Amino acid sequence: MDVNGCFGPVGDINKIIESFHCKISSGPEYLCLCCELIWYKTSLKKFNVHNYKSCNQNVLSKCNLIDDKVTLDNHWICFTCNSYLRCGKIPRSKANKMEFPNKPACLNLTSLEERLISPRIPFMQIRELPRGGQLSIHGGVVNVPADVGSTVNTLPRSLSDSQTIPIKLKRHLSYKHHYQFQHI
């Protein structure tokens, strides 16, 4: 910016815009090895266990960083976890036990099955914005509380009782048409 608060020549703005588009061309698709959060590539650095020689081995083992899988070259660590480990501290995500539980293999559910056992059923319209391809919520979001006690008590069903049930999920009981339909 110049003294008057304006940008310089148009070429400078185009370079800035091009740099921005280059940085966001790939979305947040890189996983931090320590906190298991998804980050942009610019927020991470390559993980190398040799950078943490001064760190206590107990700290590294609590963060699951001493493992056979860590020797691969395609692992990343976020700057937050990196700074904690360089100081010899456990990152807050691990110290507070903020980690994702493992998903059981039997819970490969369809979207309708997920809605049936969900304590709240959200209804919203998600539309693509005119420029940029980003998604936005159009209108209000309605969270309908659901009593899933009867559904959960009937699960898991026995093998002899394995008939399919047609489910029609409506936005409102008085509506004629269904929102989702599936045999479960």
pLDDT of amino acid 143: 84
Cα-Cα-Cα-Cα torsion 107, 39, 73, 70, nearest 10 degrees, comes to: -50
Name the pTM for this structure: 0.45
Q: Which two tokens stand for residue 176?
A: 């004629």
| Helix extents (H) in 24-69 | 57-62
CB 62 within 8 A of CB 94: yes
The one-letter amino acid at 7 = F
Question: Is pLDDT above 80 for 148?
Answer: no
- pLDDT the model gives residue 5: 45
- CA distances to 15, 68, 156, 157 from 153, rounded to whole Å, are 60, 41, 8, 9
Residues 6 or more apart whose Cβ sits within 8 Å of residue 117: 109, 148, 151, 152, 155
Q: Is the pLDDT of residue 142 over 50?
A: yes
pLDDT of residue 2: 46
- Quick: pLDDT tens for 105-139: 777 887 777 777 778 878 888 888 888 778 888 88
